Amino acid sequence: GDSVTQMEGPVTLSEEAFLTINCTYTATGYPSLFWYVQYPGEGLQLLLKATKADDKGSNKGFEATYRKETTSFHLEKGSVQVSDSAVYFCALRIFSGGYNKLIFGAGTRLAVHP
């Protein structure tokens, strides 16, 4: 079935370090791909998305490229800040059974230290 696999956390980095959080997916058809972020005590917020192969989503310095050949959507940021500390969820959306189905990965916790 459709699924999303993320690298396990926590990921601990120093401020200004380079970030990669891996995400791979399994899906029938052509899903849209998303990264959501959950800051402490809050609900999830959409960070970025890509709707077709080779699209690059970007927001707040984060980027992810939809790679159909490797079924991946890895999240990257060149220089993380303490304020980026959060849980990051990779997700895919596929239209199945008459509605848009959103499937989430398990989440990766990022902790950035000064």
Partner 1 sequence: NAGVTQTPKFQVLKTGQSMTLQCAQDMNHNSMYWYRQDPGMGLRLIYYSASEGTTDKGEVPNGYNVSRLNKREFSLRLESAAPSQTSVYFCASSEDSYSPLTNEKLFFGSGTQLSVL
Q: Which of 23, 32, 77, 84 binds partner 1 (CB under 8 A)?
A: 32
Which single residue is written with the structure tokens 């995400």? 23
Shortest separation between residue 92's beta carbon and partner 1, angstroms: 10
43 part of the interface to partner 1, by CB under 8 A: yes
Nearest alpha carbon to residue 19 among 82, 73, 62:
62
Phi, psi of 8 (to 5 degrees): -75, 145
Q: How far apart are CA 13 and CA 78, in angstroms?
A: 12
26 part of the interface to partner 1, by CB under 8 A: no
Instruction: Read off the tokens for 113.
Output: 């230290």
Q: How far apart are CA 81 and CA 104, in angstroms?
A: 25
Find the binding residues for partner 1 in span 1-20 (CB under 8 A): 4
40 part of the interface to partner 1, by CB under 8 A: no
Nearer to partner 1, 59 or 79 (CB): 59
Number of neighbours of residue 107 by Cβ within 10 angstroms: 18
Nearer to partner 1, 34 or 66 (CB): 34
Name the site residues for partner 1 (rule: CB under 8 A).
4, 32, 34, 36, 41-46, 49, 51, 89, 93, 95, 98-102, 104-107
